[in-house]
Amino acid sequence: MGTSPATSDDGQELPVIELVNVWKRFGAGSPSEVVAVSGVDLKIRPGEFITLIGPSGCGKSTLFNMIGGLEPCDDDGSILMRGRVQQDGELLGKVAFMPQKDLLFPWRTVVDNAILALEVEGVPVRQARERARAMLPDFGLAGFGDHYPHQLSGGMRQRVALMRTFLFERELILLDEPFGALDALTRAMMQRWLLDVWAEHRRTVLFITHDIDEAIFLGDRVVVMSARPGTIKCSETIDLPRPRDASIVTSPEFMAIKRRLLGAVEEESLKSFEAARADARRVGA
Amino acid sequence: MSGITRLTGRGCGSVCLPIVMILVAAALWELSPRVFKISPYYFPPLSDVLAEGWRIRTIVLDGIVRTVTETLLGFSAGALFGIACGVLFALVRPLERAVFPLFVVSQTVPVVAFGAIVIIWFGNTIFAKVVIAFYLTFFPVTVNTHAGILACDPQKVALMRSFGAGPAAIFWRLRLPSALPTIAVALRLGISLGLIGAIVGEWFGDTVGLGVMLIQAMYTEAVVRLWLIILCCGVVGAGLYGAVAFVERRLVWWRSDA
Ligand SMILES: Nc1ncnc2c1ncn2[C@@H]1O[C@H](COP(=O)(O)OP(=O)(O)OP(=O)(O)O)[C@@H](O)[C@H]1O
Ligand SMILES: [Mg+2]
């Protein structure tokens, strides 16, 4: 699993982000305490594309919020960036974070939505717009730069949000179920397109998904999270050759990996489902 | 809904139907006193009213200019003050808890009682009327600005924070623009209230203005003139409302939730 203690002495490149025993307890000490994340250890190496999969409510978004600096992790763990421990809020502005919803601003055009982070950084607007316009074709938005979000399809809105994330040039990109709301066909296209963009604008990516095919198709490594309290159950390196095309999902290698992972994922989904039912019974009683 | 859009959407669009309705109303006003033989004391026909308007056109025009000036001054001051207070209350919670109840109490004082005091304080000046228009305008603007800013999507705030944005950047780029549709609703309400404030303010004594003419016509039982002033108030009110709505549609065209 590769969770041995991090050292920079062995000559290896430092991990972009390293999570050491990260916990998140909501309402700690109260009877309604919720342990959302428990004892997560994870090392993300530069340039890696990691997909994180786990049942609904297992703490994936919470983990992301901590890596993005939006919420502190509990005191017994720590988050390191390039080997340096990050204090509360120190990670804000250091990670390109794309939340589950596109969260476009309706009063801004596509280009102006995309440059939001650049504006915050203080890049002159004209220069930022130029950079965004140059990226429009890459993101399948050529000719739509001056459109407003309500004039776009769901897939296009999602690509604008992705463009906004890519323009915020940080080493690590966090993508929280970016394609979760799309139909299967659009979704498959977006996955292939994301790999193309990733190949071109090489970054380190941590990608949340519910979909096991998506996780294997995209990732260098699939990390499976357990039902709540969320912890890392197992992780599997995907050595399918790149560039990957759509037909790879029917190859025997892909199927073999899927079969191995499916067992783990389904067991956890079942657990979280049973837990939800038990909760419902307790509330009902 | 679709029926109405089809009706108005075809041909001359949304301008035509209101004009037709206004012409119908004018025709009814003109014909019904004649057809039903209503005494002009109760309901003079439109042509008499318009003739009176033409006869005293310079006085009417002066009155309109005066009242509109008072309304616009009071409305602008009330809008700015209301937006500023709404923003402050939204950003500084203790201030809201301390001052907002006073605002509510101030609005429970009837504008007539308040008007008398304002005249005592500021005398018979245009300033007194502006203050009353202001008094009626600022409250809805404050309430809506406050609500609009607080209604800002916390996930969008989190997104801005993840970009490293500080409170100022979050306010100017997110909180304020996302509150604008809610503020705009209050401004449309405010311009109508401002006009009422200006007219009522003039009742406490003045020589020029629609409110003054209204009172004078009432005391002298000049019925035709009374109807003339009512018509003028309606036209001015619709015009001011239309102007605010027009500016709003240009500047704040997006919906507040999207
Ligand atoms: N601010 C909070 N206060 C209390 N509990 C919270 C809070 N945020 C999240 N939780 C709880 O933590 C758990 C994990 O939530 P999280 O949103 O991280 O799940 P998720 O894995 O992203 O789910 P999904 O796949 O459905 O998006 C949930 O049970 C949720 O109720
Ligand atoms: Mg989530």
Q: DSSP letters of B185-203?
A: HHHHHHHHHHHHHHHHHHH
DSSP state of A230: B
The residue among A62, A66, A105 with the most chain B CBs within 10 A of its CB, best to mutate, is: A105
Tell me chain B's radius of gyration from C-alpha atoms: 22
The answer to whether residue A37 sits within a structural domain is yes
pLDDT in 10s for each residue of chain B, 258 residues: 344 444 444 556 678 888 899 999 999 999 988 888 888 888 899 999 999 999 999 999 999 999 999 999 999 999 999 999 999 999 998 998 998 888 888 888 888 788 888 888 888 888 999 999 999 999 999 999 999 999 999 999 999 999 999 999 999 999 999 999 999 999 999 999 999 999 998 888 778 889 999 999 999 988 999 999 999 999 999 999 999 999 998 888 887 554
Burial (CB count within 10 angstroms: exposed 0-12, middle 13-18, buried 19+), residue B41: exposed
Are A180 and A122 in contact by the 8 Å Cβ rule? The answer is: no
Angle formed at CA A257 by CA A254 and CA A262, multiple of 5 degrees: 115
Burial (CB count within 10 angstroms: exposed 0-12, middle 13-18, buried 19+), residue A37: buried
Spell out the CATH class of B55-251.
mainly alpha
Q: Which tokens hold the place of A262?
A: 């499916």
Residues with Cβ within 8 Å of A103's Cβ and at least 6 positions away in sequence, in order, are: A161, B153, B155, B156, B159
The answer to whether residue A32 sits within a structural domain is yes
Choose among A69, A94, A99: nearest Cβ to B155.
A99
Check residue A285 and give its pLDDT: 57
Q: Which residues line ligand 1 (CB under 6 A)?
A: A 26, 34, 36, 56-62, 228
Residue with tokens 């609009």: B148
The answer to whether residue A137 sits within a structural domain is no
- Nearest atom (ligand 1) to Cα of A54: 21
Domain of A88, CATH number, reads 3.40.50.300
The answer to whether residue A220 sits within a structural domain is yes
Task: Report chain A's mean pLDDT, rounded to a whole number.
Answer: 87
State ipTM.
0.85
The answer to whether residue A173 sits within a structural domain is no
The answer to whether residue A141 sits within a structural domain is no
The answer to whether residue A27 sits within a structural domain is yes
pLDDT 10s digits, A240-278: 888 888 888 889 999 999 998 988 888 888 888 888 888
> Where exactly are the structural domains of chain B?
1-38, 55-251
Pairwise CB contact (< 8 Å): A106 & B174? no
pTM for this model (two decimals): 0.83
Q: Does B163 touch chain A (CB under 8 A)?
A: yes
CA distance B197 to A199: 65
Q: Locate the chain A residue with the closest alpha carbon to B180.
A: A107
Residues spanned by the domain of A45: 8-95+207-285
CA distance B146 to B71: 24
* Partners of residue A107 in chain B, C-beta under 8 Å: 177, 180, 254
* Partners of residue B258 in chain A, C-beta under 8 Å: 106, 149-150
**Above 70 in pLDDT, residue A4?**
no
Q: Does B153 touch chain A (CB under 8 A)?
A: yes
- At CB < 8 Å, which residues of chain A contact B? 65, 68-70, 92-95, 97, 99, 101, 103, 105-107, 116-117, 119-121, 148-150, 168
The answer to whether residue A108 sits within a structural domain is no
* Number of separate domains in chain A: 1
The pick from A56, A62, A211, A226 for probing ligand 1's pocket by mutation, whose C-beta has the most ligand atoms within 8 angstroms, reads A62
Check residue A155 and give its pLDDT: 86
CA–centroid distance, residue A100 to ligand 2 (Å): 7
What pLDDT band is residue A10 in, cutting at 50, 70 and 90? low
Please compute the mean of the pLDDT values over residues A115-137 and round it to a whole number: 94
